Chains A and B, each alone.
Chain A
Amino acid sequence: MLLSDLEIGESAVISDMSKIDKSFRNRLMDIGIYRGARVLLVNKMSFGKMLVVEVDDVEICIRRTDAERIEVR
């Protein structure tokens, strides 16, 4: 399943981020999105083009297109 497939209020564990290029992956890791993290989809914004996820009590907004490259379980 993909991160972008989550419904609002649903949570999952990130299982694969290898489709995201290395420098952006490192950046995501720095702000708190990493493989093994439990993410909760808090909100969808901008007609669903933007997703707000919560990881370790931090709320982060990413693009849907990036979320489509993150695999969750």
Chain B
Amino acid sequence: MRFLLTGNPNVGKSTFFNVMTKSNVKVANYTGITVERNTKSIKGNGRLFLVDLPGTYSVLPNSEDEGVVTHALCHDHYNGIVNIVDSTHLKRNLHFSIQLLELGVPTIIIANMIDELKRSGFKLDEKKLGELLNVEVVSMTALKTTDKDLDSISSILNRMPPKKALEINYGDVIENAIESIKSLLRYETLHVKKRWLAIQILEGNDKILDYINLVKKKEIMSIVSETEKTLINNNTALSLKGAIYYIRKEFISNTLDQCLVQVDEKNHLKNTNKLLDKYLTHPIFGTMIFFLVMILIYHISFGSGLLGLGNYLTGIFEVIYDKFLELSRIGLDAIGFKESEFLNQLLVDGALTGVGGVLVFLPQIVVLFILLSLVEGTGYMSRVAISMDGMLAKFGMNGKSIVPIVTGFGCTVPAIMATRTISNRKERILTILTLPFISCAARLPVYGFFVSIFFEKHQALVIFFIYILGVVIALLSGKIFSLSIFSDVKTNFAIELPPYRLPHWKNIISQALDKAKGFIKKAGTYILVGSIAIWFLMAVGPDGVTDIPDQSYLAYISQFFSPIFIPLGFGTWQATSAVFTGVLAKEAVVSSLAVIYGAKDVISATFNSVTALTFIVFISLYTPCIATIGTIRAETNSRKWTIFSIMYPLVVAYLVALLVKSFILLF
């Protein structure tokens, strides 16, 4: 049986999902229309599945989910809905619950954060709330669930009775409109209640109109605008949505009056801590603190030296992996695939080396994600978003873009996913298109490799320059987009301030493990295939298997394109191949160069300090890797923007590299 897990953002949905499914029995990642959804079975009950939907304030597709919730409700097969609400913010949370209850689908409401409600001196009569809404309400503290809680929820899910839809009377004008729309919808095949569809359409859920017959769409639209006009003329509300909202609000306060009791005379717990907020959101101190935090995170994940935990672990991984490669070579040899033979080399030098080159970065990435989610878990990022809003607004983004940008220093893929919190679609696409310019961790090996050969004395300075260049190009691109393609985008900003909370270890670890799993899966699938292909192209030429790289297919193919790079100073087939492989994964630039050239002194003979700098500038900015392109495709759901995200950085990288080269040559 499948249950859709829904709720407002930040109510503990993920926490609940993790507790309920902690054994990770089955992970099926499948891509919905726009956003990836997780389906997992409940611990100890392989028959019950939870489908994790994005957190939203409303079923209406005006915000982050872009209609995913509407789509799921109308088209998915599910046996019921699990609606998580934050008990301390029921007045707002119940708006969404009502939209769900109007569906008439078996539903359970989980009243979460009971611990915080208690601390603020209130008590929720969940029985009464259940009676008034005609739904089962279970109160809980997701952070402290016991196995007993799990069992009782599982057993409720197992025997959820069919449910009558909640019917609120919206007053004559709206009720009449609902009836007319319902009769127009009579023959529609969508498997949800017509009354629900009608209400949603009146509220402004355009997504539903996409699902129905065009001819009717027109008639329905005219009913909607007529009704809205009447309501505005009656002075009931500014809009239809507003009118419906007020009636629900009335219903909610009546309901809560009967089941929310104040047991303790306490001041309402403030989410904000005035003093902390004052410094953390201060335009100067806040920005300085933020940069310090970032440098610390970056240092622990990628830096060398005392604090360089990630780097240290990756070093260990490299040693282990080298041993593993050696053993595989010998092992394969022992079972009959001779070391000098094609198959042995294909497996070890091609497949395993390629995959390993990526896998060794696993510790750094896990460390980075743990640190980032630690910071995110405290509520700090909302404050950073506030202090950076003014600055980012000048570049067509808003304060919330800082979260993806920060994530982008680790990996562009989760950074792009993190843009889901930006509600305006165009603004979100603008941010997505600029993110690949932020240097991800995968590009660091490339910089390190060249810098150690050509800029031994100024290593840190050159790498710092490359990072700043990336940020500057990202911001400038944002500016250019906001002045041209997206000139009609008005950035807006409204963010709910979560209380400061202590991050929760269990959550952080399980999140990091999830990231690690995804990363390993990626390495084991297309990076594996890609590595084999590259190795194969280098070992085979028009004349068959060859030991001379110049006569391999790779050389022939790359030679065709290499003249393009002559103006930049690295128009060789070797460098061109590296540029190509970098699209598979940025780290591949280094591994390809090492394989192609064999030794570092050969490289210092073909590159010089100017071409080396030009090369890393180009690599830091050009076309994003395949994983990023795939994510951009999935998140924008647009072929046009995907192609743009491939071509635009290529052009920019070329021009900037040319500029840098000419600039240096002036001196």
Residues of chain B lying within 8 A (CB to CB) of residue A25: 238-239
Inter-subunit contact B238/A17 (CB<8 Å)? yes
Say yes or no for B89: interface residue by CB 8 A criterion. Answer: yes
Inter-subunit contact A60/B246 (CB<8 Å)? no
Inter-subunit contact A29/B390 (CB<8 Å)? no
Q: How far is the CB of A45 from chain B (nearest CB, A)?
A: 4
Per the bound structure, the CA–CA distance linking A27 and B278 in Å amounts to: 26
Residues of chain A lying within 8 A (CB to CB) of residue B274: 43
Per the bound structure, the CA–CA distance linking A61 and B91 in Å amounts to: 18
Q: How far is the CB of B133 from chain A (nearest CB, A)?
A: 18
Q: How far is the CB of B107 from chain A (nearest CB, A)?
A: 20
Residues of chain A lying within 8 A (CB to CB) of residue B286: 46
Inter-subunit contact A57/B268 (CB<8 Å)? yes
Inter-subunit contact B62/A45 (CB<8 Å)? no
Per a CB cutoff under 8 Å, which of A17, A45, A62 touches B281?
A: A45
- How many chain A residues sit at the interface, stated as a range, is 35 or more
Binds A, one of B139-147, B297-305, B486-494: B486-494
What 1/0 mask marks residues of chain B from 61 to 91 whose CB sits below 8 Å from any chain A CB?
0110000000000000000000000001101
Q: How far is the CB of A55 from chain B (nearest CB, A)?
A: 9
Residues of chain B lying within 8 A (CB to CB) of residue A42: 270, 272
Residues of chain A lying within 8 A (CB to CB) of residue B390: 46, 49
Per the bound structure, the CA–CA distance linking A35 and B274 in Å amounts to: 27
Using known A-B contacts A17-B238, A50-B389, A61-B386, determine if residue A23 contacts B496 with beta carbons closer than 8 Å.
no
Per the bound structure, the CA–CA distance linking A33 and B423 in Å amounts to: 16
Q: How far is the CB of B201 from chain A (nearest CB, A)?
A: 15
Chain B, Cβ-Cβ closest to A33 = B494
Per the bound structure, the CA–CA distance linking A29 and B95 in Å amounts to: 11
Inter-subunit contact A63/B389 (CB<8 Å)? yes
Say yes or no for B548: interface residue by CB 8 A criterion. Answer: no
Say yes or no for B483: interface residue by CB 8 A criterion. Answer: no
Inter-subunit contact A21/B57 (CB<8 Å)? no
Per the bound structure, the CA–CA distance linking A29 and B268 in Å amounts to: 22
Say yes or no for B461: interface residue by CB 8 A criterion. Answer: no
Task: Count B interface residues, CB 8 Å.
Answer: 44
Using known A-B contacts A45-B277, A45-B278, determine if residue A50 contacts B386 with beta carbons closer than 8 Å.
yes
Chain A, Cβ-Cβ closest to B282 = A46
Inter-subunit contact A59/B496 (CB<8 Å)? yes
Using known A-B contacts A34-B245, A42-B270, determine if residue A59 contacts B387 with beta carbons closer than 8 Å.
no
Using known A-B contacts A45-B281, A52-B272, determine if residue A29 contacts B88 with beta carbons closer than 8 Å.
no
Interface residues of A in 15-52 (CB under 8 A from B): 17-18, 21-36, 42-43, 45-47, 49-50, 52
Say yes or no for B190: interface residue by CB 8 A criterion. Answer: no
* Among B282, B286, B494, residue most surrounded by chain A Cβ atoms (within 10 Å): B494
Say yes or no for B217: interface residue by CB 8 A criterion. Answer: no
Per the bound structure, the CA–CA distance linking A50 and B424 in Å amounts to: 20
Per the bound structure, the CA–CA distance linking A36 and B411 in Å amounts to: 44
Per the bound structure, the CA–CA distance linking A32 and B252 in Å amounts to: 13
Say yes or no for B366: interface residue by CB 8 A criterion. Answer: no
Say yes or no for A10: interface residue by CB 8 A criterion. Answer: no
Per the bound structure, the CA–CA distance linking A50 and B282 in Å amounts to: 10
Chain A, Cβ-Cβ closest to B491 = A63
Per the bound structure, the CA–CA distance linking A36 and B245 in Å amounts to: 11
Interface pairs (29), CB distance under 8 Å = A17-B238, A24-B490, A27-B63, A27-B494, A28-B494, A29-B241, A32-B92, A34-B249, A35-B242, A36-B246, A42-B272, A43-B274, A45-B282, A46-B386, A46-B389, A47-B283, A49-B283, A50-B281, A50-B386, A52-B277, A56-B91, A57-B268, A58-B496, A59-B497, A61-B382, A61-B495, A61-B496, A63-B493, A66-B494
Interface of B with A (CB < 8 Å)? 57-58, 60, 62-63, 88-89, 91-92, 95, 204, 237-239, 241-242, 245-246, 249, 268, 270-272, 274, 277-278, 281-283, 286, 382, 386-387, 389-390, 423-424, 490, 492-497
A-B residue pairs, 6 tightest by C-beta = A30-B57, A45-B281, A56-B91, A59-B497, A59-B271, A24-B492
